Structure 1
Amino acid sequence: MHRILALAVAFSSITLTNAFAHHPLGGEVPQTLLHGFLSGVGHPVIGFDHFAFVVAIGLIAAFHKQRAIMPAGFVLGTMAGTMMTISAIALPFAELVITASVIVAGVIAMRGKLTSIVPMTAGATVIGLFHGWAYGAAVVGAEATPIIAYLAGFGLVQMAIALLAGYVAVNMWKATSAASLQPRLAGALMAGVGVAYMVELVEGLVFPAM
């Protein structure tokens, strides 16, 4: 398992690029309902740290009877976090918390043990505040209509990603329990992405661009 995690970290380090900083619509504030929705759909996919966390949440929740509860808690948290950004409410160390959340979620998925859904949902909701707070920067200054569409876009796509991850683990990989191999490999990859991004973040703090 240590070798798997090491390979995942190495693979992630190679594949991660400046896509973290890219945003749909070229970073412009959405002006219409359609632009708001497209921007919302794009952010959880383009932001690979966010994407990795949503996949990990889907894998963690996959073997619960109510597999949608944990992802739904996270999505509600992201919506609240976005509204915090719009309301100019700051969250400390947001990038570090987001990165750490990817690592922790990946490790939990990799452990291959069924988790207690209530504390995990509560934790996912709190972490969602930080992910959503980062999402909110894209719609600061936008009108109400594109903001609502933006929330709908990233809410729907995150639920779809999480549920699809669970579906793939259970139905396509034929995993019968949280201890099955494939979800653990996927969790290792999520943890690897988080580690790689953490290294990139720390490097940026230690060696800031002049």
Structure 2
Amino acid sequence: MLSPRTKSALILIAASALSMSASAHTVVEAHSHSGFISGFVHPLFGLDHLAAMVAVGLWSALAARSAGRDLLWGPVGFAALLLVGAVLGLQGVALPAVEPMIAASLLVTGLLVVSRLRVPGLVAALGVGVFAVFHGVAHGYELAGSDSAWWTLAGMLTATVLLHSAGLAAGWALRHRHVWLARAAGAGVAAFGGALLAQMA
């Protein structure tokens, strides 16, 4: 019998599992980017972004030695460098292999969840942050020229923090019991990333 806490974690993980059903920009590109709400919705329907952000939270919770600052290095690093990447994209800075790097981020973060690899906090922040730059650049390219770009970015960052928090909550709930569920979700994210990379080859 699953506890209420474990059931809640399963619901959060199920949201990330939806990411395997489609690629990143299918829904988002159907409407224009304008304003906070549009930015907030973007990561929820940009399914590769959703999967990566939840996976970062899952990994951070599963790999943390204890509650506290250890939990936050990965999510804070990802969110901060996502913003850096978005600014670069808005300025038209061209980075190579943006979409392959986004797909690679899914493969890597999924494998981090599976392995529960522990690394020093700064390494965790910079490791996921490198990938976050490419996620941000993709957003920035899409928003270039928009009058409400900064409001849209504020919405994206808010959703990013919430998705990281959802992953953290699920990972923390499952880190001692039913951890295989979190690892299965990580494996699904990694498989999704691998499939995207194979499509781009």
Normalising by structure 2, report the TM-score. Answer: 0.80
Give 1:68 deviation, angstroms. 2.4
Give 1:89 deviation, angstroms. 0.4
Alpha-carbon distance in 2 for matches of 1:47, 1:200: 17
| Offset from partner CA, 1:147-176 (integer Å, 9 cap, x none) | 2211211111111111111112223x3x22
Q: Which residue of 2 aligns with 1:7?
A: none
Q: Which residue of 2 aligns with 1:165?
A: 167
Q: Which residue of 1 aligns with 2:116?
A: 112
Does structure 1 retain, via aligned residues, the 8 Å contact 2:28–2:45?
Answer: yes
Q: Which residue of 2 aligns with 1:37?
A: 36
Normalising by structure 1, report the TM-score. Answer: 0.77
Choose the corresponding residue for 2:152, options 146, 150, 153. 150
Give 1:18 deviation, angstroms. 5.7
C-alpha change, 1:110 and 1:15, in structure 2 (3 Å) is: closer
C-alpha change, 1:99 and 1:19, in structure 2 (3 Å) is: closer
2:22 is equivalent to residue 17 of structure 1: yes
Alignment of 1:51-62 (within 5 A): 51-62=50-61
Alpha-carbon distance in 1 for matches of 2:118, 2:179: 11
The structure number with the bigger radius of gyration is: 1
Alignment of 1:37-116 (within 5 A): 37-63=36-62, 64=64, 65-66=68-69, 67-116=71-120
Q: Which residue of 2 aligns with 1:139?
A: 143
Alpha-carbon distance in 2 for matches of 1:188, 1:18: 17
Q: Aligned Cα RMSD in Å?
A: 2.4
Q: Which ranges of structure 1 fall in alignment gaps of 5 or more residues?
A: 1-11, 31-35, 203-210
Q: Which ranges of structure 2 fall in alignment gaps of 5 or more residues?
A: 1-16
Does structure 2 retain, via aligned residues, the 8 Å contact 1:49–1:197?
Answer: no
Q: How many correspondences in the alignment?
A: 180
Alpha-carbon distance in 2 for matches of 1:121, 1:39: 27
Residue identity opposite 2:95 in structure 1: L
Give 1:19 deviation, angstroms. 5.8
